[in-house]
Amino acid sequence: MSETVVYGLIMLGLVVSAGSLWFILRVLGQQKSQREENQRRLETVAKKAQEHRAYLVESLQVIAQTLMNEEMSVVEGSIRCRMLLDNLDPQLCMNDDFAVFSEVYEKTRHIPRLKEWKALKTKQKLPHMQLMDDVENTHKGAVLIAAGKLRQHPFDRYH
């Protein structure tokens, strides 16, 4: 083999090695950028989740206080607490201290709400109003106790 061919092959090897090195460095740079972007997205999602949990906890605290001050009906407050607890931690709905919220919710879940309620005629509302009064009279004490426990619950682990 002539010297020129050997030098040519060496040069070709160097060019291929340099091209491979450039390609590897480019791919590594892209992977690094992608990891950084994924980390930023993860941090954004975590921050939004933390803000949402804080909102849920604050809402629970406000509703519990409103219930204790008797500024909200037992049925409405129980439904709201149940929904918020379910969003925060579904296990809390099963907690003995807060089970009354689920009980009231289950007894009244068939009652139309919002626009559907407004669309009902007075005659149609009466049986539902009677049921809400019965549920309120039956569960008022337990709901107020649960609201007090809700105000004292250590929600700091949810932040």
> According to the model, what pLDDT value does residue 157 have?
72
**Is there a contact between 65 and 151 (Cβ–Cβ < 8 Å)?**
yes
pLDDT tens string 105-125: 999 999 999 899 999 999 999
Contact 147, 77 (CB under 8 A): yes
Count of beta carbons in the 10 Å neighbourhood of residue 87: 15
Alpha carbon distances (Å) from 78 to 5, 17, 52, 91, 156? 88, 70, 20, 16, 22
Amino acid letter at 135? V
Q: Put residue 119 in one of left, alpha, beta given phi > 0 → left and psi -120 to 50 → alpha.
A: alpha
The answer to whether residues 79 and 108 touch, using CB atoms and an 8 Å cutoff, is yes
Tens of pLDDT, residue by residue over 32-61, are 999 999 999 999 999 999 999 999 999 999
Question: What pTM did the predictor assign?
Answer: 0.79
- Please report where in the chains the tokens 């809700």 appear, as a residue: 150
Does pLDDT of 1 surpass 80? no
Q: Which of 28-32, 102-106, 155-159 has the lowest mean pLDDT?
A: 155-159
> In 10 A of CB 119, how many CB atoms?
9
Can you give the pLDDT at residue 39?
A: 98
The region, left, alpha or beta by phi > 0 then psi within -120 to 50, assigned to residue 114 is left
